[in-house]
Amino acid sequence: MRIWLTGGDLLAVSWTTGFSTPDGFNSVFLWSPNYKALLSMCKQTSDKKPTFSVRLVRADAGSDGQRIDNFLIRECKGVPKSHLYKAIRSGQVRVNKGRVQAEYRVKDGDEIRIPPLRVATPDENRVVPAGQFPIVFEDDALIVIDKPSGVAVHGGSGVSFGVIEQMRAARPEARFLELAHRLDKETSGLLMIAKKRAALVALHGMFKESRGRKCYLALVEGDWVNDRQHIRLPLEKYLTRDGERRVRVRPDGKVAHTIVSKEARFGRYTLVKAELRTGRTHQIRVHLAASGFPIVGDEKYGNDETRIAFARQGFARMFLHAHTLEIPHPVTQEPLSLTAPLPEVCRQLLDRLAVRR
């Protein structure tokens, strides 16, 4: 039985009988000259968005190798991505009864606990605009785009949508589109998107085994002396007091290896090439900053005075660009050698610095 009391002369009682009225509840007695107000109030309570109850899902072979966040996006249609990422971070999502991070790769046979999740309201479920990005390479299995700086690769954590959502909106006929790896929002350059599950699994295997070469161009503060230097500093993710996610060097962190080569000197700055041998979050940025050579324009790990000075001159981004990629094709195994040229704004900055030296 339910009782509503909203004023001196408005009282209603309802209970379940197995029969339903057109107004959305079962049996109601009203004591009020204004019974429509009560009907309206009851309708509002019944119009709340539904939630998914707790579910236990068994991953199959088709999900093997997929990131847990992408697995949840597929399983929980209509749930805002921000809610999914919050559920992962808070530990409500469990795999084999244990907590995982968003980067966890699902394995065939995993038991995944999905907590109650609210479906998006009309305001949250905004239409994602179709996005067109420069295509560097495309065939039946793979797309490689030249991602601009300032665009997230996917939605979540305060970002409504990113590259992958915009690509899906632009290609509604595509049955499968998944990110093969990540780039930071501020980083530009080569980004791989798998068009087939087999291609995605193959690419993940290649990255895990460090097959292929991914090289970035970065402009750093300082005079980089060594022509070629290996940086091996273990990295750890952590949260600041403000809740910002960052990465730092820690002896007990995850193994991280970057090879840095000098490309050109520009007075107080050096253009370097950074080759990833592992793929940790913010790896190049933290390795260079920890070595005393922060990347120009890096808001998290760089020099704020330098960043602001360059922004006033029209360079309002981080100078980190995914420049070249050499890797076997995930299906044919033919060698792929791809290049994304430096963005015009980066070339213009180098030209200005070259004149000054």
HSE, CB side, 13 Å, CA atoms: give it for residue 310: 26
* Higher pLDDT pick, 217 / 1: 217
HSE, CB side, 13 Å, CA atoms: give it for residue 204: 20
Please say whether the beta carbons of 274 and 258 come within 8 A: yes
* Higher pLDDT pick, 124 / 256: 256
Rounded to two decimals, the pTM is: 0.71
Could you tell me the pLDDT band of residue 15, with boundaries at 50, 70 and 90? very low
Could you tell me the pLDDT band of residue 100, with boundaries at 50, 70 and 90? very high
In tens, the pLDDT along 46-59 reads 444 555 578 899 99
The ranges of the chain annotated as CATH 3.30.2350.10 are 135-356
Please say whether the beta carbons of 203 and 231 come within 8 A: no
CATH number assigned to the domain with residue range 51-118, chosen from the 4 options 3.10.290.10, 3.90.550.10, 3.10.20.340, 3.40.50.300 = 3.10.290.10
Mean pLDDT, residues 221-226 taken together:
92
The ranges of the chain annotated as CATH 3.10.290.10 are 51-118
Least confident of 28-37, 117-126, 338-347: 28-37
Please say whether the beta carbons of 149 and 188 come within 8 A: yes
- pLDDT score, position 13: 45
Residue 333's alpha-carbon distances to 122, 141, 204, in angstroms, are 45, 12, 14
Least confident of 33-42, 145-154, 272-281, 282-291: 33-42
Architecture of the domain spanning 135-356? 2-Layer Sandwich (3.30)
- pLDDT score, position 46: 40
* pLDDT for 96 beyond 50: yes
Q: List residues with catalytic annotation.
A: 184
Could you tell me the pLDDT band of residue 141, with boundaries at 50, 70 and 90? very high
- pLDDT score, position 7: 45
The percentage of residues in the chain with a pLDDT greater than 70, rounded to a whole number, is 82
Could you tell me the pLDDT band of residue 43, with boundaries at 50, 70 and 90? very low
CB-neighbour burial class of residue 127 (10 A; exposed 0-12, middle 13-18, buried 19+)? exposed
Residue 127's alpha-carbon distances to 8, 78, 147, 151, 152, in angstroms, are 45, 12, 21, 17, 17
Integer Cα distance of 339 and 54 in angstroms: 46
Could you tell me the pLDDT band of residue 158, with boundaries at 50, 70 and 90? low
